[in-house]
Structure 1
Amino acid sequence: MTDLLNRLATLSLTARVAFGIAFLLIFGGLIVSIAAFAYGREAARSAYDRLLLGAATNIASAIGVQDGRPEIELPVSAFELLALAPDDRIGYRILGPEGDTLTGYEDITLPNRRNELREGFFDGTFFGEPARFAVVSRRFAERKLNGTIKVVVGQTLRARNAMAYDITRKALYVLAASGLAMVLLAMVVVRSVLKPLETMAGGLSARDPHDLTPMDTAVPRETAVMVNALNGFMARLDRQMNSMRHLISDTAHQLRTPVAALRAQADLFSDEADLSRKEKIVERIQTRTASLGRLLDQMLSQALVIHRGDSARREAVDLRDIALDVFEEGDHAVLNPEFDIQLEIGDAPVIVMADETSLKEALKNLLNNAVKYGRSPVRVGATQEEGRGAIWVEDSGSGPSAAILAELGGRFNKGTLSRQTGSGLGLAIAHSVAVSFDGELKLGATGSGSFRASLEFEAAPEWTS
């Protein structure tokens, strides 16, 4: 059963359309067959009933009266009409005014009493076969003969059934021919409709593995949905690959100098005989190692937030919880235990649609930059104003110069990593988080003489006041 379902799932669209039309034609063919047979039987009954009625009328018109007795001379023309059905049996029976049989077959069974037999048609049997009968009456009003003579003419149903089957057969021939034409036309149409997909597949196969440029959207509307989805996927993949290339490039660039310095310090330590100078070399090695560790942490954070920006599902996040978690983790205390860190969050929720992990990484980097390069005290908070939620870090220093801020902004707009060891890499991480969730990184002095770095996002609609 599973193999059958798998085979059906892998059928081509052309085969599916063909099977679907064939099923509809078979189902419709059954209905048409029933309808055609019913129509054919009614048409045959109507045609042969006229023949029966004509034959009975001819016989009735040929009845005369002589010496008060009915005289019957059967006309040849009456039976010539019925001879159009050569395989059928033909019978007649003429009843007198008293209901007695004047001539004909006594085997013809009448449906009711003879004196109540009415003009028209009735079904019966003739020599054991189903038959159809017509009744015609002729009234005589003479001295010696006063009454109604009834003529009953019957015929078996072979010709009628043959005519009904013939009409049904011809209707099915037309249905089969039109159905075959529809299946062939459907296959041609499906192949024509799917031609853009074959063209797309050929274009993708011929592409360079590193070519992730958008595909041409000048395709039919139904195909454009898939093309747009594919272009969106390639754009996300391109961003991921660019992030990997930037990470590798930055890692090679940033690590080359400190690793070379560590190697040089190690060489000096092995060649140095003075113990006091060896102690200084060890201190420099420890300082370089700590700096290298922080640099690696920031690079990994950058790779993490860029990856989650494209893959993480957006959820409702309260920015107050982000600020509280980062404040309580206390990682900033390792950099400068003497710094005064203050938390400022209100009672009203500050809800945005983003990723909690990415926001924490961004806020940690902003806070570490403030502790490392700013002045105490440092405040961490979350606020909402004019439909926008913000999470921010503010220190008491004046911040970088306007020239440095402009340079940082230029690098952010290009979407690349900072290749400096200062605060640029931490700010680049925060900027990547802002861009990933349709937000903005703002850097600038406040009116109170302090410097603030904030991440701003559109507040979730249901939480917008």
Structure 2
Amino acid sequence: MKAPDSLFRRLLLWLLLPLLALGALMLVQAYLDARRTADRAFDRLLEASSQAIAEQVQWQDERLWLDLPPAALEMLATDAEERVFYALYDDDGEFITGNARLPGDPRSDDISGEAMYYDDVQWQDLALRQGVRRTRLEDWRQREGFEVRVAHTREGRERLTWRLFLGNMAYIGAMAVLAIAVLLLAVRSALRPLTRLRRAIRRRDPRTLAPLELPLPRELAELRETLNELLARMRRVRANQERFIGDASHQLRTPLAGLSARAELALRQDNPEVWRAALQAMQTTSASTARLAVQLLSLTRLNNPEATPELSALDLNDIARQAVRNAWNRCHRDGIDIGVDVCDSPVTIDGIDWQLEEALSNLIDNAGRYGATHITVRVNATPPELVVEDNGPGIPAEQRLLVLRPFHRGEESGDGSGLGLAIVDGIARTHGARLRLDDARHESGLCVTLRFPAPTPTETKQ
């Protein structure tokens, strides 16, 4: 099984990715800034060199003449040992002098006044940075225009660029290390309340369902309150289970004690008639106890959501007919008139067949045990309903909610266990149905109705 991903790792990853992306952008920007700074510095040298050369240009023998001082080019030479080139061109673009025939200014010729132009050029497989200055002689007798072109290789620029970039990168690296350290501490600090919550839950006694009392941030406080709500529901469930177990043990202990007492009394007698009466009483008690055990198992299974199968399409007419067939022999033996009233067309719902049959069986059995002589099982189509109506003593309106509790019996004189209606109520809730207890329509008695949710149009067509 693959290990679950760590929340700490996930937070760190999602916070580090933008931080790393920002760091990469900062490095790119630092390199571009370093290159621009180096270009500006060396361009100033190009400008100074071209200015020094332009100041030495003179008009002599009816032509331009240049006596280049060594300092004009030495200012471009650095410890990177760049190669330096220069050229002088007249106003017609004719080469006058220089150590290289450098390309000129691509701008239009109508540009007037002194101007400086910089460009990166390729000359004889060399990458050069060139500066072109357009100017004129300062002699009042002669205003001849000319161009001074100065260029050098990029070794010094690149060295200065990397020196500046490495200096910036050291600062960025230090900031990144500090940011990552702060980020690690922040994430650990943010997750520390979650660690406290986990440890508090782990240290708890599994038998206690007391609410958690732990100061937490707002987001985790909501989780704590959700856990406390779950614990409260579990307390209610455990209380109901303990009450159910106590009632069940009491209900089972009474008939078992009666069986033991009757058997002991019968063993003290020598009369076969007494033995027969004791055996008949023991048979009745054991049958009642067996039915009680079956009802307890049914109620336990209804209260276990993991044991509930999926709902499937059912016809309520078939459910009603089957329940009446199953109860026919018992009712006929006890002198009870039982009938079924179904619809002409199928009444389809989503349900569990054995649960609905058991609900009808419990309703029929309850009616018979409490004195009913006529029982009718009816199916209504709109809305879908299962109805069991009898002519027994009925249940007073003020007790109809109480009888839905396990082991509560409406009439103490009856021999029921008080589980029948509780099981029917559980089955109704499983099916999303509404259980209603009313007076019988035609005579005294009880009318129990299971009203199911109306099917959707798609389900109706099917």
TM-score by length of 2: 0.77
- Name the counterpart of 1:431: 425
Residues 124-143 of structure 1 deviation map (CA, whole Å, 9 limit, x = unaligned): 5689753212222445699x
Q: Could you say which residue in structure 2 is the equivalent of 1:418?
A: 408
Deviation at 1:122, TM superposition (A): 4.2
Equivalent-residue separation in structure 2 for 1:454 and 1:312 (angstroms): 24
Q: Which residue of 2 aligns with 1:21?
A: 15
* 2:389 partner letter: E
Secondary structure, counterpart of 2:102 in structure 1: coil
Alignment of structure 1 residues 369-388 onto 2, 5 Å: 369-383=366-380
How far apart, in 2, do the equivalents of 1:88 and 1:244 lie?
A: 93
1:409 aligns with 2:401: yes
Query: Percent identity between the aligned chains?
Result: 26
Aligned with 1:283 (options 280, 284, 287): 280
- The letter of the residue matching 1:409 is L
Alignment match, 1:252: 249
Change (3 A) 1:372 1:319: farther
Shift of 1:391: 2.9
Alpha-carbon distance, 1:369 to partner: 0.6
- Say which is worse superposed, 200-209 or 370-379, in terms of deviation: 200-209
**1:200 matched to which residue of 2?**
197
Counterparts of 1:203-352 in structure 2, within 5 Å, are: 203-213=200-210, 215=212, 222-223=219-220, 226-227=223-224, 230-231=227-228, 233-234=230-231, 237-238=234-235, 240-308=237-305, 312=308, 315=311, 320=316, 323-324=319-320, 326-327=322-323, 330-331=326-327, 333-334=329-330, 336-337=332-333, 338-346=335-343
Aligned length: 448
Shift in Å, 1:253: 0.7
The structural deviation recorded for 1:239 is 5.2
The whole-number CA distance in structure 1 between the counterparts of 2:360 and 2:204 is 41
Asked whether the 8 Å contact 2:439–2:445 carries over to 1, the reply is yes
> 2:392 matched to which residue of 1?
397
> Which 5+ residue runs of structure 1 have no aligned equivalent?
none
Amino acid corresponding to residue 330 of structure 2 in structure 1: V
Q: Deviations over 1:319-365 (max 9, x none)?
A: 82574265255146335544332223436776777766544433321
**Structure 2 vs 1, CA of residues 288 and 273 (structure 1 numbering), >3 Å: closer, same or farther?**
same
3-state SS, counterpart of residue 393 of structure 2: coil
Q: Is the 8 A contact 2:118 2:130 kept in 1?
A: yes
**Is contact 2:341–2:377 with CA below 8 Å preserved after alignment?**
yes
Change (3 A) 1:113 1:17: closer
Q: Which moved more, 1:120-129 or 1:326-335?
A: 120-129
Compared with structure 1, are the counterparts of its residues 354 and 253 closer, same or farther at alpha carbon in structure 2 (3 Å cutoff)?
same
* Alpha-carbon offset, residue 165 of structure 1: 2.8
Is the partner of 1:82 in helix, strand or coil?
A: coil
Structure of greater relative contact order (alpha carbons < 8 Å, 6+ residues apart): 1
Q: Which runs of 5+ in 2 are unaligned?
A: none
3-state DSSP class of the match of 1:190? helix
Q: Distance in 2 between matches of 1:347 and 1:185?
A: 77
2:83 is aligned with 1:93: no
- The partner residue of 1:361 within 333, 343, 358 is 358
Equivalent in the alignment of 1:454: 448
Paired residues of 1:96 and 1:150 also in contact (CA < 8 A): yes
- SS for the counterpart of 1:110 is coil
- RMSD between aligned alpha carbons? 4.4
Of 160-169 and 95-104, the range deviating more from structure 2: 95-104
Equivalent pair of 2:324/2:340 in contact (CA under 8 Å): no
Contact 1:240-1:306 within 8 A present in 2 as well = no
